[in-house]
Chain A
């Protein structure tokens, strides 16, 4: 059974209109059609879903699906 996608892939899938199962860690957000408005939507949806703020500075460094998953990892497994 395939595990449920994490918040990064599920939100990216929702915004890009692609199936979460087709998203790879190496996939670039720009190749998913994420423009500036998409980036804003991403930030807002992720904060709503995770209940945690995400800094603009951290999100600006995100280029790939994997980058976003790593950014959110401490939220899923708090120390």
Chain B
């Protein structure tokens, strides 16, 4: 259960752990046992689930919604995204949300909070985003998808899709366990088998 920081009890074994140098706004909701490490910043309108880990220097803002058991490693920037349970963001990932980024309006004024349109990223259950990958606004990364290191993702990624490069290309499929599937959609590591579906792959019954 998520508990506003203002109501947490220090003696509660399920209380989040937030190191002193982290900046978590009072209005942010942080789930049980979530750990927030050094110099991380969490804005007031952010909701974080239970059992998450935020590494050093992570920045989460713009009403991002984070599920349970999500790992966000050092230096990530999460702007307004929706992360379902079990997502992993490796170090340096950026999830962007402004499809038309400008500092000033057409008439030259500094843009304010209401001068832009949000198109947040969605990362679905169990997906992994590799280090320094960038996901552009509005993209959905499918369940258990695997985004390789340094990839620039400009289109949706299907469930279990394995993508890499700039621009991202799908070069295969990833198992729930994280290994690449073989030609017959079977995992050489754990033996799980998959079937093609319109939205990507699903585990074979």
Instruction: Check B169 for interface membership: any CB of A closer than 8 A.
Output: yes
The yes or no answer to B164 lying at the interface (CB within 8 A) is yes
- Is A2 at the interface (CB under 8 A from chain B)? no
Q: A60 to B182, Cβ gap below 8 A?
A: no
Shortest distance from the beta carbon of B67 to any chain A beta carbon, whole Å:
27
Q: Is the Cβ of A60 less than 8 Å from the Cβ of B164? A: no
How many of chain B's residues have a CB under 8 angstroms from any CB in A? 12
Which residue on chain A has the smallest CB distance to residue B171? A39
**B165 close to A (CB within 8 Å):** yes
- Residues in A with CB closer than 8 Å to B180 are 35-36
Question: Contacting A63 at CB < 8 Å: which of B164, B169, B183?
Answer: B183
Judged by DSSP, the binding face of A is: helix
Residues in B with CB closer than 8 Å to A44 are 165
Whether A26 is near chain B, meaning CB under 8 Å from some CB there, is no
Asked whether B172 is an interface residue with its Cβ less than 8 Å from the other chain, the reply is yes
Point out which of A36, A37, A44 has the most chain B C-beta atoms below 10 A from its C-beta. Answer: A36
> Which chain A residue lies CB-closest to B184?
A63
CA distance A28 to B184 in the complex (A): 12
Bound state CA distance, A30 and B183, in angstroms? 8
Report how far A20 CA is from B195 CA in the complex, Å.
33
- Give the number of residue pairs across the A-B interface with Cβ within 8 Å: 31
Q: Is the CB of B164 within 8 A of A40?
A: yes
Specify the chain A residue showing the minimal Cβ separation from B170. Answer: A56
Chain A residues near B171 (CB, 8 Å)?
Answer: 36-37, 39-40, 43, 56, 59-60
- What band does the interface of chain A fall in when counting residues whose beta carbon is under 8 Å from B? 10 to 19
User: Does the CB pair A56–B169 fall under 8 Å?
Assistant: yes
B48 within 8 A of A: no
Pairwise interchain contact B162-A36, C-beta atoms closer than 8 A: yes
Bound state CA distance, A43 and B67, in angstroms?
36
Q: Is B148 an interface residue (CB 8 A)?
A: yes
Whether the pair A39, B172 counts as a contact (CB closer than 8 A) is yes
Contact A37 B164 (CB under 8 A): yes
Residues of A within 8 A of B170 (CB): 56-57, 60
Within 168-192 of B, Cβ neighbours of A (below 8 Å) are at 169-173, 180, 182-183
Which 3 residue pairs across A and B have the least CB separation, nearest first? Answer: A39-B171, A56-B170, A63-B183
Q: Give B contacts to A, CB under 8 Å.
A: 148, 162, 164-165, 169-173, 180, 182-183
Q: Which residues of A are in contact with B by a Cβ distance under 8 Å?
A: 28, 30, 35-37, 39-40, 43-44, 56-57, 59-60, 63
Extra contacts besides A36-B148, A37-B171, A44-B165 (9): CB < 8 Å? A30-B183, A36-B171, A39-B171, A40-B164, A56-B171, A57-B170, A60-B171, A60-B172, A63-B183
